[in-house]
Amino acid sequence: MGGGEKPLVRNRYRYRRPTMTTQLTFVAPRRAKPPRHLADLTMAERRAAVAELGEKPFRADQLSRHYFAKLTESAEQMTDLPAAARERLVADLLPNLLTRVREVACDGGTTRKTLWRLFDGALVESVLMRYPDRVTMCVSSQAGCGMGCPFCATGQAGLTRNLSTAEIVEQVVAGARALARGEVPGGSGRVSNVVFMGMGEPLANYKAVLGAVRRLAAPAPEGLGISARHITVSTVGLVPAIERLAKEGLPVTLAVSLHAPDDELRDTLVPVNTRWKVAEVLGAAWDYARRTGRRVSIEYALIRDVNDQEWRADLLGRLLKGRLAHVNLIPLNPTPGSKWTASRPRDERAFVRRLESYGVPVTVRDTRGREIDGACGQLAAAEPGGRPGERAGRPRSAAARPARAEGSPHNGKRSSTRRANLAR
């Protein structure tokens, strides 16, 4: 891997600027909405909804406590609610939103990927990952994705629809229930971290994602009581949405899926870059860091002979030097039939050294979960009827378990903990 300035790679992966603009989808297709759910509503709205059903408003607090705090799974267990009202309240405010289609595990059962069918047949995935000191849920925010990244099968397949706030929250609640039932090795526990790195572009579904963040962070019985500092929201770089998120007063971690430090390559790898350039995306990220005091995570999928040149590491280092940021390097986990592959180990090490020479903290994530179709969306793609289309969530590419949102960087050393998230 050479160290000087070079043009785009002149080999079989050579890039040419597209002759046509990649179609980006920022507005999801209109589809039937999922049924109303408790998690879609604020506490005031829940009380109003219960009153509409002819019950005392405080029943909303009881129902919320069962869902968010006790993780109650059936109406029969809600014995503090009148029997006559119980079924009606549950049917109206706690409808079934997710149906488990398939679940697979690796890492001794501590990494569990679940394929869910939504009310309209769309498929999405979530992943529960247990570490010695925490439990992380990786959740989907859309069925499919409209951002069109060529190394990401989900983006290539397009967007089916946005998920509702409750459909997102329910993925986390399902993981919390699995822990409470003792289904995950390591004993009972609670979900401590949530990363929006599953299917979809979270900030393209801004209202529902923000609602989900607020439900996850609110203390019980309003929400799950997960610290906002332990929630990560990723984006390919929707600048207006980043700017809007910075003003919300929520100290969540922002993860920017950069993947290239120069506009020429990023225009191709991340087509939204044709609308908001690298400088604009990073400018919004630095403003986010300034407003929130939160370190920005720069996600960078290393693709062999595409974006792993040393001169690109130099450019990235210059862009990030002195900033409140760290880099997560993700060796690409290609989807079946893809021409894309992970960087050579020596090129990966050289890339890390270059970044470290600028004082930029770096973590290289171990890619795991390939034995369970680790790249996001591959369970959906393998399911009969789960092809990209009206009834399926769409597959994505890189799979890597997320680094801790808080804490010191790993100084470029490969993490020894298992990594199997649905990262871009």
Distance of alpha carbon 317 from alpha carbon 357, whole angstroms: 8
Tell me whether residue 259 is annotated as binding.
yes
Rg of the chain taking only CA atoms, in angstroms: 21
For residue 395, which amino acid is it?
P
What are the angstrom distances between the C-alpha of 230 and each of 38, 53, 219, 294, 404? 23, 36, 14, 11, 8
What are the angstrom distances between the C-alpha of 127 and each of 109, 365, 391? 12, 16, 20
Distance of alpha carbon 243 from alpha carbon 127, whole angstroms: 28
Catalytic pick among 55, 103, 376, 406: 376
Tell me whether residue 227 is annotated as binding.
no
Tell me whether residue 258 is annotated as binding.
yes
- Among 293, 403, 310, 404, which residue's Cα sits nearest to residue 356? 310
- Among 136, 248, 259, 260, which residue's Cα sits nearest to residue 198? 136
Distance of alpha carbon 246 from alpha carbon 178, whole angstroms: 33
Tell me whether residue 94 is annotated as binding.
no
For residue 172, which amino acid is it?
V
Distance of alpha carbon 420 from alpha carbon 367, whole angstroms: 6
376 labelled catalytic: yes
Q: Strand 253-257 vs strand 296-302: parallel, antiparallel, or unpaired?
A: parallel
Tell me whether residue 257 is annotated as binding.
yes
Record the tokens describing residue 38, joined without a space.
């408790």
In this structure, what are the phi and psi dihedrals at residue 131, rounded to the nearest 5 degrees? -110, 170
Tell me whether residue 106 is annotated as binding.
no
Tell me whether residue 338 is annotated as binding.
no
Tell me whether residue 138 is annotated as binding.
no
Catalytic pick among 125, 167, 222, 299: 125
125 labelled catalytic: yes
Annotated binding site: 145, 149, 152, 200-201, 234, 257-259, 333
Annotated binding site for [4Fe-4S] cluster: 145, 149, 152
Residue positions annotated with a catalytic role: 125, 376
Annotated binding site for S-adenosyl-L-methionine: 200-201, 234, 257-259, 333
